[in-house]
């Protein structure tokens, strides 16, 4: 500005200083050139501003991810997200527990409100979908299974909520409807080594009840689960769960879990009043027998009000045992797992007194090769309201894993039902997962 | 009535937990208690931390670090840890997150002060560009996690570890800095020897089983021209094996580098078809009994490569 005023002043004095006329015209030319230059620079700035707003945000001038960071006194933080113009793929520097960097679609990302799209997506939960297609052939009466069905589609949403909690939601879509299989908040590190969960969750009764369909080693659930523990849904209710790792001798892992639920679980618990809560307790003991072999034992208890009447109770007592073998050097090729659960129930009945049915299963699975697993299961269970009725079953299972993210399974199942009916079936299953990489089942 | 009983039960349970909690709380140990996901991180931590730390690793050096079982016994280590060091880049995605969540240890939760992801300090290779899908196999979308196999990254990791140790135990900061400087000095000297050994074989072509060696290959000028796996995490197929054999014959490649946890049948059949050899090279400290330090890892691998390269001129 002072320079311009100076030039203007000079030009006003032109008539007085005629000999300087040539210099003044030169200055004016230079001034015009400068104006042109300023205009062109302004246009460039506007262009850049326009491009910036069109970009999917959080565009940082970050160094390319492959560029090493120089360790210094204060470790340089990578940007929360970096997006390149050529490949707008958001990458996270470190996936939080249970989380994976979310995949983003290719192409420009939309801009949400004031926040940049990239930054907003960073906080999206991990999303996964697991498909479970089930088919059946043979005589399946009376436990009917459709010839072909998209048995379950499970959508999972998992994220860290804040420095104190994380949340997990699993919504299952069947062919008939939608249900919330689990949706809970976990406080992983409370004082005194406690962990708390609140929400709807599968209870910690035994082993099979805690497992989602896609981590079962079979296409179905054992008879004892069907007859005594509420079938596929099992004890799955809204409430609180507290657990603590207890000090055990000689590297023995001990974990105690106590849970209180509303008291509604499929066909086994029913809440008639607010005070009709159900409770579940589980004590787990685990020991590494060697580097490759370990033993997992548990005892469980559950009690709630029976669907047979508000004054009647239904109680369950369980013992579970799992032995695993997996040689570390060849862990991806060979392994063996044997599981069993023994469950006793106590059912108050309106007229016939107390029924005390019992059931169990024993199963074994051997990994033959990297992609092949062979298993067998024997299961037997009385009915929960009539111990005179007992079902017995046996299965042979062969599973093929094309990759970590899909599996194909066939199961030959023979079941002798209490009604003197025998079912011989071939069940086959295709399972596949997309989205976030979940933890491997253990 | 049931509510009263429940309240009574909860009070008793709370009292029992409180007593157990009091018994279980140990006095703060004078040594920094470090848990690492792999033995490589433990080895470098030991160099820096000396006798001022205790360090324990979860995965063994001879097991596939992608497939570690999240055993409850690991929780016993994690629940007492002051610091958890991880490789990151989703190497541990299949097993570490549930362990962290169940550890009941607020110090080592992701983002807490006692959680150290060392990939943030290192040169990361093979970061996929463009769209990433699982059609590419079990690909790591954040880059190849086997970055510790470059001594320069080892140096960076040691620095980051020393800084973290100093932050958590300020009274021992000078000790850690001193040890880190000594580690760096010895590493620089060792690198001269390793360079002299490997310099003769600059640009040698090799096949590897998995994509475990990009940092090692870049540092020591090896040319990895193919993989026994058709895609990361996908077992070898007959057609791909044939392609590998043809490539090796065409390029005159004789060596196949295999990690100790992979099956040797396919690599052996490829090697016999091309008149070459399979080398079981260690990607991690602890891969064999005699390799217990970061230095011994490179000495072992470089000696093995030297002998093999000398054989196939």
Residues B45, B159 share a domain: yes
**How confident is the model over B260-266, as a mean pLDDT?**
95
Position A371 in a domain: yes
Position A337 in a domain: yes
If one counts the domains in chain A, the total is: 1
- Give how far Cα B30 sits from Cα of A193, A315, B163, Å: 21, 49, 18
CB pair distance less than 8 Å for A251 and B73: yes
Position A55 in a domain: no
Q: What is the pTM of this model?
A: 0.78
Per-residue pLDDT, B154: 97
Give yes or no for residue B178 having a pLDDT over 50: yes
CB pair distance less than 8 Å for B134 and A166: no
Q: Which residues of B touch A438 (CB under 8 A)?
A: 94
Which residue from A163, A284, A404 is facing B138, i.e. has the nearest CB?
Answer: A404
Position B24 in a domain: no
Q: Are strands A335-349 and A353-355 parallel, antiparallel or unpaired?
A: antiparallel
Position A223 in a domain: yes
* Structural domain containing residue A279: 127-435
Residues B184, B226 share a domain: no
Model confidence at A31, pLDDT cuts 50, 70, 90, reads confident
Give yes or no for residue A69 having a pLDDT over 90: no
CB pair distance less than 8 Å for B120 and A94: yes
Give yes or no for residue A147 having a pLDDT over 50: yes
Highest mean pLDDT among A103-107, A247-251, A283-287: A283-287
Residues with Cβ within 8 Å of B190's Cβ and at least 6 positions away in sequence, in order, are B151, B295, B298, B299
Residues B216, B183 share a domain: no
Closest-CA distance, B85 to chain A, in angstroms, reads 12
If one counts the domains in chain B, the total is: 2
Digit-coded pLDDT (tens) for B4-58: 555 555 555 544 444 444 444 443 448 999 999 999 999 999 999 999 999 999 9
Give yes or no for residue A19 having a pLDDT over 60: no
Chains A, B: CB contacts under 8 A, how many?
A: 211
Position A75 in a domain: no
Model confidence at B245, pLDDT cuts 50, 70, 90, reads very high
Which residue from B101, B120, B123 is facing A188, i.e. has the nearest CB?
Answer: B101
Percent residues over pLDDT 90 in chain A:
61
Residues B259, B118 share a domain: no
More confident residue, A24 or B279: B279
CB pair distance less than 8 Å for A245 and B79: yes
Position A53 in a domain: no
Give yes or no for residue A32 having a pLDDT over 80: no
What is the rounded distance in angstroms from the CA atom of residue B185 to the CA atom of residue B151?
12
Residues B223, B166 share a domain: no
Q: Which residues of B touch A329 (CB under 8 A)?
A: 62-63, 260-261
Percent residues over pLDDT 70 in chain A:
75
Position B103 in a domain: yes
Residues B232, B180 share a domain: no
Which residue from B17, B88, B109 is facing A194, i.e. has the nearest CB?
Answer: B17
Residues B179, B212 share a domain: no
Q: Which residues of B touch A246 (CB under 8 A)?
A: 20, 24
Instruction: Return the ∠ at Cα A100 (arms to A94 and A104), rounded to 5°.
Output: 105
DSSP A235: S
Model confidence at A25, pLDDT cuts 50, 70, 90, reads low
Which residue from B68, B93, B127 is facing A95, i.e. has the nearest CB?
Answer: B93
Give yes or no for residue B129 having a pLDDT over 90: no
Give yes or no for residue A5 having a pLDDT over 70: no
Closest-CA distance, B79 to chain A, in angstroms, reads 8
CB pair distance less than 8 Å for A371 and B235: yes
Per-residue pLDDT, A240: 97
Closest-CA distance, B311 to chain A, in angstroms, reads 28
Give yes or no for residue B137 having a pLDDT over 90: no
Last residue of a domain, one of B191, B222, B243: B191
Residues B231, B129 share a domain: no
**How confident is the model over A142-150, as a mean pLDDT?**
86
Residues B277, B160 share a domain: no
CB pair distance less than 8 Å for B72 and A331: no
Q: What average pLDDT is seen over chain B?
A: 90
Which residue from B20, B71, B98 is facing A294, i.e. has the nearest CB?
Answer: B71
Closest-CA distance, A261 to chain B, in angstroms, reads 12
CB pair distance less than 8 Å for A75 and B143: no
Position B26 in a domain: no
Digit-coded pLDDT (tens) for A187-239: 998 998 899 999 999 999 999 999 999 999 999 999 999 999 998 889 999 99
Please say whether the dihedral angle defined by the alpha carbons of residues A63, A66, A70 and A71, taken in this order, is positive or negative. positive
**How confident is the model over A52-80, as a mean pLDDT?**
36
Phi/psi of residue B23, nearest 5 degrees? -65, -35
Give yes or no for residue A28 having a pLDDT over 90: no
Per-residue pLDDT, A61: 34
Nearest residue in B to A103, CA atom: B132
CATH number at residue B271: 3.40.50.1980
Give yes or no for residue B223 having a pLDDT over 50: yes
Q: Are strands A165-173 and B53-57 parallel, antiparallel or unpaired?
A: unpaired
Instruction: With beta carbons less than 8 A apart as the criterion, state whether A338 and A320 touch.
Output: no
Residues B106, B219 share a domain: no
Last residue of a domain, one of B130, B164, B191: B191
CATH number at residue A164: 2.40.160.10
Digit-coded pLDDT (tens) for A161-187: 998 999 999 999 998 899 999 999 999
Nearest residue in A to B144, CA atom: A66
Give chain B's length.
Answer: 313
Residues B263, B184 share a domain: no
Digit-coded pLDDT (tens) for B59-99: 999 999 999 999 999 999 999 999 999 999 999 999 999 99
What is the rounded distance in angstroms from the CA atom of residue A411 to the CA atom of residue A389?
25
Closest-CA distance, B206 to chain A, in angstroms, reads 24
Position B146 in a domain: yes
Give yes or no for residue A112 having a pLDDT over 90: no
More confident residue, B6 or A31: A31
Last residue of a domain, one of B167, B191, B215: B191
Which residue from A96, A192, A255 is facing B111, i.e. has the nearest CB?
Answer: A96
Residues with Cβ within 8 Å of A203's Cβ and at least 6 positions away in sequence, in order, are A209, A210, A234, A235, A236, A237, A241, A259, A261, A265, A280, A302
Nearest residue in A to B123, CA atom: A68
More confident residue, B209 or A37: B209
Which residue from B18, B95, B261 is facing A440, i.e. has the nearest CB?
Answer: B95
* Structural domain containing residue B105: 32-191
Give chain A's length.
Answer: 442
Position A275 in a domain: yes
Give yes or no for residue A92 having a pLDDT over 70: no
Residues B220, B169 share a domain: no
Closest-CA distance, A365 to chain B, in angstroms, reads 16
More confident residue, B234 or A75: B234
């Amino acid at each position: 500005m002072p320079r311009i005023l100076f030039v203007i002043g000079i030009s006003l004095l032109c008539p007085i200083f005629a000999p300087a006329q040539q210099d003044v015209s030169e200055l004016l030319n230079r001034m015009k050139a400068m104006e042109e230059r300023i205009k062109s620079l302004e246009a460039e700035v506007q262009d850049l501003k326009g491009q910036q707003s069109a970009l999917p945000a959080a565009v940082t001038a970050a160094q390319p991810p492959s560029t090493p960071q120089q360790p210094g006194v204060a470790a340089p933080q990578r940007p929360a997200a970096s997006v390149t113009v050529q490949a707008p793929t958001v990458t996270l520097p470190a996936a939080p527990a249970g989380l994976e960097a979310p995949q983003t679609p290719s192409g420009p990302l939309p801009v949400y409100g004031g926040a940049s799209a990239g930054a907003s997506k960073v906080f999206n939960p991990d999303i996964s979908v697991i498909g479970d297609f089930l088919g059946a052939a043979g005589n399946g009466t009376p436990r009917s299974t459709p010839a072909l069905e998209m048995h379950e589609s499970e959508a999972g949403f998992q994220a860290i909520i804040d420095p104190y909690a994380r949340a997990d939601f699993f919504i299952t879509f069947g062919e008939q409807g939608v249900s919330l299989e689990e949706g809970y908040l976990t406080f992983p590190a409370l004082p005194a080594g406690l962990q708390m969960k609140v929400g709807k969750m599968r209870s910690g009764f035994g082993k099979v009840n805690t497992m989602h369909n896609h981590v079962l080693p079979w296409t179905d659930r054992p008879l004892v689960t069907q007859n005594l523990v509420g079938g596929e849904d099992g004890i799955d209710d809204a409430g609180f769960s507290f657990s603590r790792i207890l000090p055990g001798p000689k590297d023995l892992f001990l974990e105690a879990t106590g849970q209180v639920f509303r008291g509604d679980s499929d066909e086994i618990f029913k809440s008639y009043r607010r005070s009709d809560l159900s409770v579940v307790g589980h004590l787990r003991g685990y020991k590494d027998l060697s580097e490759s072999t370990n033993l997992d034992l548990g005892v469980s208890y559950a009690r709630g009000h029976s669907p047979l009447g508000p004054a009647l109770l239904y109680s369950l007592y369980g013992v579970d045992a799992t032995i695993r073998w997996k040689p570390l050097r060849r862990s991806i090729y060979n392994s063996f797992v044997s599981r069993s659960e023994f469950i006793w129930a106590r059912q108050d009945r309106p007229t016939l007194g107390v029924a005390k049915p019992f059931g169990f299963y024993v199963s074994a699975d051997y990994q033959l090769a990297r992609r092949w697993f062979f298993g067998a299961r024997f299961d037997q269970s009385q009915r929960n309201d009539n111990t005179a009725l007992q079902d017995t079953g046996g299965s042979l299972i062969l599973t093929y894993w094309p990759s970590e993210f899909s599996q194909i399974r066939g199961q030959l199942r023979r079941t002798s039902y209490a009604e003197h009916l025998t079912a011989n079936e071939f069940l086959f299953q295709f399972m596949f997962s997309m989205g976030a990489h979940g933890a491997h089942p253990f | 009535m049931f509510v009263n009983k429940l309240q009574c039960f909860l009070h008793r349970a709370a009292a029992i937990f409180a007593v157990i909690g009091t018994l279980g709380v140990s006095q703060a140990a004078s040594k920094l208690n470090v848990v690492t996901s792999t033995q490589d991180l433990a080895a470098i931590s030991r160099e820096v931390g000396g006798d001022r730390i205790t360090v324990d690793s979860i995965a063994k050096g001879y097991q596939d670090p992608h497939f570690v079982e999240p055993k409850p016994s690991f929780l016993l280590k994690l629940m007492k840890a002051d610091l958890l060091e991880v490789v990151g880049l989703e190497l541990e995605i299949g097993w570490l997150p549930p362990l962290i969540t169940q550890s009941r240890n607020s110090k080592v939760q992701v983002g807490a002060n006692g959680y150290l992801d060392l990939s943030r300090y290192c040169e990361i290779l093979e970061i996929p560009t463009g769209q990433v899908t699982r059609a590419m196999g079990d690909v790591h979308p954040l880059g190849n996690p086997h970055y510790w196999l470059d001594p320069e990254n080892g140096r960076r990791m040691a620095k980051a570890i020393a800084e973290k140790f100093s932050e958590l135990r300020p009274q021992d900061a000078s000790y850690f800095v001193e040890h880190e400087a000594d580690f760096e000095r010895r590493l620089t000297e060792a690198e001269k020897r390793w360079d002299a050994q490997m310099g003769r074989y600059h640009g040698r072509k090799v096949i590897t089983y998995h994509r475990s060696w990009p940092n090692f290959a870049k540092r020591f000028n090896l040319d990895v021209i193919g993989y026994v796996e058709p895609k990361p995490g996908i077992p070898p197929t007959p057609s791909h094996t044939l392609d590998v054999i043809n490539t090796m014959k065409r390029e005159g490649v004789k060596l196949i580098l295999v990690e100790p946890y992979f099956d040797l049948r396919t690599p052996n059949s490829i090697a016999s078809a091309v008149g070459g050899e399979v080398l079981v090279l260690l990607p991690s400290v602890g891969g064999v009994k005699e390799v217990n330090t970061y230095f011994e890892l490179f000495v072992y691998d470089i000696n093995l490569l030297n002998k093999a390269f000398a054989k196939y001129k």
